[in-house]
Amino acid sequence: MVSLSLKPPEEIFQADFRLWPTAFHGVENYRVALTAAPMFRFLLNGLLVCAAIFALQLLVCIPCAYALAKLRFHGRDTMFSAVLVGLLLPPQALAIPHFVLLNVFGLLDTYAALILPWVISTFGIFLLRQFFRSIPDEVIHAARLDGLGEFEIIWRIMIPMTAPALAAFGIFSVVAHWNDLFWPLIAVRREEISTPALGILLFRDDEAGQFFGPLMAGAVIIVAPLLVAFLIAQRRFIDGLAVTTMK
């Protein structure tokens, strides 16, 4: 892929294959990819959508997971069972009602359409609850005796102590939504708000995408950010994704 992205068109069609191009055409291919389609826009959209989804997921998950792990209240077990049932549901099966719901509120083809259906993550609640439970009750009792409110306990004790779990969940969430094609394909049409996975498809159907060189350059641009992040923090990524097997 990287090899093709550096070659001029006539060399791609040559009979003999060389890994390194005889005539370096890389700059030109990447220029075409970057100008013919708003590649940076796709990446920026991906970043924005993934960040918004993860931030909102944390906002909903953390208090809920904390309450399920450490507070005693009537209906806690029922709530936890509801979360477990939610874990069973494949997101693709909810596409029709989500689509209808967004349509009713006139939100289709907006960033909100890409973000809102993912705000609740039963997997996140489940995962964080397991990790919160592993923190001894004594720590929380001590904090309460020191006069810390529940919010401060979450902010100053639970979150720092479960940072690896939060990182794992973050990696899982970002990888899933950066790579997702199914939902963006349904929710948006406009190129300006397309996420990377959808963007590369739009680019292929575009005129410039008919040429293999620029198309491969585009694919490299779309895949690169996650792969670079992965190479920097391999261990964390593998653990973060392996944790999904609990789902």
Partner 1 sequence: MAAPTARIAKRSGEHGLGWLAVSPALLLLIGLLFGPVAAVLLFSLTDWQLGSFTFHFIGPANFRTLFTDPTFWKALSNTLIYAAIVVPGTVLLGLVVALLIESSPGLRGFYRAAHFLPVMSTMSAMAIVWGTMLHPTIGLVNRALGVMGISGVNWLRDERTALLALALIGIWQGFGFAMVLFVSGLKAVPQQLYDAAAVDGADGVLDRLRVVTLPMLGPVTMFVVILTAKRSFEVFDSVRVLTQGGPNYASEVLLHRLYTESFDFLRMGYGAALTVVYLAIVVLLTLTQARLLERRVHYS
**Ranges within 184-203 binding partner 1 (CB under 8 A):** 185-186, 196-198, 200-201
* Pair 138, 99: CB distance under 8 Å: no
**Least distance between partner 1 and beta carbon 24 (Å):** 19
**Least distance between partner 1 and beta carbon 31 (Å):** 19
Which of 142, 163, 233, 238 contacts partner 1 by CB under 8 A? 238
Would you say 24 or 105 has its CB closer to partner 1?
105
**Least distance between partner 1 and beta carbon 28 (Å):** 18
Measured CA to CA, the distance from residue 151 to residue 25 in angstroms comes to 56
Measured CA to CA, the distance from residue 132 to residue 68 in angstroms comes to 9
**Residue 111 exposure: Cα atoms within 13 Å on the Cβ side:** 12
Sole window of 25-33, 107-115, 132-140, 220-228 interacting with partner 1 (rule: CB under 8 A):
220-228
Q: Per CB under 8 A, does 79 bind partner 1?
A: yes
**Residue 78 neighbours by CB distance under 10 Å:** 9
Query: What letter does residue 108 receive in the DSSP assignment?
Result: T
**Least distance between partner 1 and beta carbon 16 (Å):** 9
**Least distance between partner 1 and beta carbon 128 (Å):** 11
Within 28-67, the residues that bind partner 1 by CB under 8 A are 59-61, 63-64, 66-67
How many positions of this chain bind partner 1 (CB under 8 A)?
78
Which of 49, 83, 114, 188 contacts partner 1 by CB under 8 A? 83
Within 3-32, the residues that bind partner 1 by CB under 8 A are 4, 12-13, 15, 17
Which of 72, 104, 136, 138 contacts partner 1 by CB under 8 A? 72
Q: Per CB under 8 A, does 89 bind partner 1?
A: yes
**Residue 225 neighbours by CB distance under 10 Å:** 15
* Pair 30, 5: CB distance under 8 Å: yes
Measured CA to CA, the distance from residue 110 to residue 114 in angstroms comes to 7
- CA torsion, ordered 197, 228, 244, 136, to nearest 10 deg: -140
Interior angle at CA 68, CA 242 and CA 161, nearest 5 = 60
